[in-house]
Structure 1
Amino acid sequence: IIFLVYGESIMYIKTDEILERIKLITMLEATELVKQIEDCFQVSADKITVVNHIPIVDNKKIDPPEPKTIFDIVLEEFPANKKITFIKEIRSLNLFGSLQETKKVIDNLPQVIKSNVNTQEGEQMKQKLEELGAIVSLK
């Protein structure tokens, strides 16, 4: 490559000559040249376009989520002075098999005390336990 220096800029004579010659060839010859360059240098002249998918949200077409109908009853807290009362109440609801198991649940709160209950049953149990001073949630 031959180059000339003009002050701070460098002009490459060979690349300028190549560019001038390319301007004189036909489109068919230019297409063939591109193919040869791609093959020789194992490159591609294909344009790469990156498009991020932007979802279009139509608020009219989104159905509201169906209300939850099955819950777990979670005993969060109860008054410490009513521990025996809570053990008896939970046992009377037949939630656990043994007294030991019931006591273990009461001692390690928060705990799911009943799973997969419908809304009505869940609300009834929650109300009973809250009347005794407990903090209960349906999840």
Structure 2
Amino acid sequence: MSEKIDQIVEDLKTLTLLEASELVTKIEETFGVDASAAASGGVVMAAAPAVVEEVEEKTEFNLMLDEVPADKKIAVLKVVRSLTGLGLKEAKELVESAPKQIQEGLGKDAAEEAKKQIEAAGGKASLT
């Protein structure tokens, strides 16, 4: 190797990881190449920048009462009443008409807790 190349290699050895990353980015931009393609042995012209799609975490949930076994109806009815504040008649109609939405727009923790309560009483619930 030439003395110039040897000097460049020695300079590269002193770079921090951050500096090395910045160098790779600068080389890619300057020469229009993709450094990841070098590992496969070829040089590829730089493609359009990839669009990073942000996945937004769901923050509001609806609580669905999916199924109530006949022998667990009273226990589930009590839980539904405590969650919704409905009277006995309204809660009974709701439980008997499962699958049915019980609550909407709940936060993640509140929705999961309500689901656990229904399941502990013997019903089947889901979050949508």
TM-score, length basis structure 1: 0.53
1:72 aligned to which of 49, 62, 65: 62
Q: Deviations over 1:48-105 (max 9, x none)?
A: xxxxxxxxxx783141330111010001012210111111121122x04321111111
Q: Which residue of 2 aligns with 1:122?
A: 111
Aligned to 1:85: 75
Q: How many residues align?
A: 81
2:49, 2:120 → 1: CA distance?
42
Could you tell me which residue of structure 1 aligns to residue 7 of structure 2? none
Counterpart code for 2:79: E
- The verdict on how the C-alpha distance between 1:67 and 1:79 changes in structure 2, with shifts beyond 3 A counting, is same
SS of 2:101 mapped into structure 1: strand
| Aligned equivalent of 2:88, options 99, 102, 116 | 99
> Structure 2: any 5+ residue segments left out of the alignment?
1-47
Q: Normalized per residue, which structure has more strand?
A: 1
What is the correspondence of 1:1-139 to structure 2 with a 5 Å cutoff? 60-93=50-83, 95-139=84-128
- Unpaired segments ≥5 residues, structure 1: 1-57
Question: Which structure: greater helix fraction?
Answer: 2
1:120 positional shift: 0.5
Which contiguous aligned blocks of 4+ residues in structure 1 show a shift greater than 4 angstroms? none
Identity %, equivalent residues: 32
Distance in 1, matches of 2:85 and 2:92, equals 10
**Matched position secondary structure for 1:97:** coil
Whole-angstrom CA distance in 1 between matches of 2:52 and 2:122? 41
Q: TM-score, normalised by structure 2?
A: 0.57
Q: Is the 2:67–2:99 contact (alpha carbons within 8 Å) kept by the matching residues of 1? A: yes
